[in-house]
């Protein structure tokens, strides 16, 4: 499919392509960390967040409180993107009437370093936006503070370059005093009081080569254009240092680096994003459904398959790594849920009032295994997308033994279907934006690459049921 590229972005992309080719390896990217992981908690503590304000203390891994917190985080994300229904008063209504703890942050974060000498930031990853920005020469940066209360400043980086108003990536030339002025930016998000403004700059982003089978690990520097954020309204950014947009826009980091990127998530709360990964012949794939220049990553399905039984089920779904669970609108939700549940012999149970899921099942005192039906979707083009995490195991309130499990799919309150992280865990997902296709293959982040904090990370959301002792 033909597409255009702007001259300014071509210069940056060509430089990075040459750099990647010179390295003769794939896997140039960043490690990802779940919101509840030790890495993110350490950053929160360094910013003075009291225990329980960043992540609820009661939400031990796998408990009802843990999944309830993830659900509230999804709802807050939908509010930022204008996807959530309200309670009629402009505020979100959470399950059980519990609105005392409302997460407003993102689900995944990455430690990024920019400039020379480099400055390190914890940035949220967002497939629903394009711009990458960090606090910089702050006038009003709210609560977004870099580690050690440091800020990026173009004047202190020897590799920084001005992005002028005549640059191809400048979208606001009419706001410039002259053609040689610094290009201003202003990005607003759907939630109230959430915005960032400043000027665009070009500098190096410090990446790492993934460590596979004990090798690699060296640093790589890539030039990118990003926002020098001088003013932020706290809103959704009160907990982090900035946002790295992974959307399809011309200024997003994947567009500037290599057009395509891949993501994988482990069961340990950590993952990896690699820039330059394209869909290879051994991977299944399906085309993106493109509706406008700023399209989301949307695919089409032709049916589902449960235990080798094909069921017609046509719908479109957005791939969104920022949500913990999968959201399907009726009639797709009902058809999927009841087809899957017809394979379950355990007894439905109300495991906790704080869990908003409709289909939950209890475990008997002597039960040591959980039967998981094989389920997948037939996508446009005929490839089969496997659902690797359709359920999650629920632990007792201390996070110890398993008491039951739930279908990790919720009914969408809008007509938008979303495949969340639980549908991506266990796979390597490739967003090939040059060919406009989504690719996937089964992949274990633990086994296939070495990542920091793997041993101590918290379980990822929607952990698949496995043999468990009740």
Per the residue annotation, which of 130, 203, 320, 432 is the catalytic one?
320
Whether the domain at 7-55+103-258 and the domain at 284-448 fall into the same CATH topology: yes
74 is catalytic: no
pLDDT of residue 155 exceeding 60: yes
Q: Residue 284: CA atoms inside 13 Å, Cβ hemisphere, count?
A: 18
Which residues on neighbouring strands pair with residue 198, listed in sequence order?
185, 229
230 — phi, psi (to 5°)? -90, -25
pLDDT per residue over 361-395, tens digit each? 998 878 878 888 899 999 999 999 999 888 888 88
Q: How many CB atoms lie within 10 A of CB 46?
A: 14
> What is the spatial order of strands in the sheet that 391-395 belongs to?
360-362, 402-407, 391-395
pLDDT of residue 125 exceeding 80: yes
Give the class (CATH, top level) of 7-55+103-258: mainly beta
Instruction: Name the residue among 80, 11, 434 with its Cα closest to residue 254.
Output: 434
Instruction: Name the residue among 267, 253, 119, 140 with its Cα closest to residue 196.
Output: 140
User: For the chain, which residues make up each domain, given as ranges?
Assistant: 7-55+103-258, 284-448
Q: How many CB atoms lie within 10 A of CB 210?
A: 23
Per the residue annotation, which of 74, 126, 203, 239 is the catalytic one?
126
Greatest mean pLDDT among 193-197, 232-236, 294-298, 410-414 lies in: 410-414
Superfamily assignment of 284-448 in CATH? Acid Proteases (2.40.70.10)
What integer pLDDT is reported at residue 124 of this predicted model? Answer: 85
Confidence of residue 218 (pLDDT cuts 50, 70, 90): confident
Question: pTM for this one?
Answer: 0.78
What's the mean pLDDT in 41-70? 71
126 is catalytic: yes
Run of H or E residues at 356: none
What integer pLDDT is reported at residue 345 of this predicted model? Answer: 86
* Percent of the chain residues topping a pLDDT of 70: 71
Greatest mean pLDDT among 24-38, 259-273, 432-446, 453-467 lies in: 432-446
What integer pLDDT is reported at residue 302 of this predicted model? Answer: 94
- Rounded to an integer, what distance in angstroms lies between the CA atom of residue 144 and that of residue 232? 8
């Amino acid at each position: 499919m033909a597409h255009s590229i702007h001259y300014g972005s071509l210069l940056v992309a060509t430089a990075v392509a040459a750099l990647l080719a010179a390295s003769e390896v794939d896997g140039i990217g960043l490690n990802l960390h779940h919101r509840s992981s030790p890495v993110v908690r350490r950053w929160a503590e360094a910013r003075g967040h009291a225990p329980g304000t960043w992540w609820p203390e009661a939400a031990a891994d796998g408990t009802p409180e843990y999944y309830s917190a993830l659900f509230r985080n999804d709802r807050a994300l939908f509010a930022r993107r204008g996807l959530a229904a309200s309670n009629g008063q402009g505020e979100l209504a959470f399950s059980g009437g519990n609105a005392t703890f409302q997460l407003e942050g993102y689900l995944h974060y990455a430690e990024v370093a920019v400039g020379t000498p480099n400055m390190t930031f914890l940035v949220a990853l967002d497939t629903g936006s394009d711009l990458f920005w960090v606090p910089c020469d702050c006038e009003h940066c709210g609560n977004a503070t870099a580690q050690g209360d440091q800020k990026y400043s173009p004047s202190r980086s020897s590799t920084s370059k001005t992005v002028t108003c005549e640059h191809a990536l400048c979208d606001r030339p009419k706001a410039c005093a002259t053609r040689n002025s610094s290009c201003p930016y202003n990005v607003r998000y759907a939630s109230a009081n959430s915005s960032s403004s400043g000027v665009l700059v070009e500098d190096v982003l410090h990446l790492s080569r993934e460590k596979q089978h004990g090798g690699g690990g060296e640093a790589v520097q890539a030039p990118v254009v990003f926002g020098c954020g001088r003013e932020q309204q706290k809103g959704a950014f009160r907990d982090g240092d900035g946002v790295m947009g992974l959307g399809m826009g011309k200024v997003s980091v994947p567009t500037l680096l290599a057009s395509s990127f891949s993501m994988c998530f482990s069961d340990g709360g950590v993952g990896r994003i690699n820039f330059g990964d394209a869909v290879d012949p051994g991977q299944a794939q399906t085309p993106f459904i493109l509706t406008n220049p700023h399209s989301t990553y949307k695919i089409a399905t032709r049916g589902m398959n449960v235990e080798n039984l094909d069921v017609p089920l046509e719908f479109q779904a957005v791939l969104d790594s920022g949500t913990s669970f999968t959201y399907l609108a009726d009639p797709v939700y009902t058809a999927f849920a009841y087809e899957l549940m017809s394979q379950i012999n355990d007894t439905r149970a109300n495991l906790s009032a704080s869990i908003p899921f409709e289909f939950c099942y209890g475990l008997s005192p002597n039960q040591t295994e959980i039967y998981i039906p094989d389920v997948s979707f037939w996508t446009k083009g005929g490839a089969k997308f496997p659902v690797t995490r359709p359920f999650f195991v629920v632990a007792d309130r201390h996070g110890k033994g398993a008491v039951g499990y739930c279908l990790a799919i919720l009914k969408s309150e809008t007509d938008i279907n979303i495949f969340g992280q639980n549908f991506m865990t266990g796979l390597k997902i490739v967003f090939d934006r040059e060919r406009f296709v989504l690719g996937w293959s089964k992949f274990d982040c633990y086994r296939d690459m070495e990542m920091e904090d793997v041993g101590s990370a918290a379980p990822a959301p929607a952990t698949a049921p496995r043999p468990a002792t009740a």
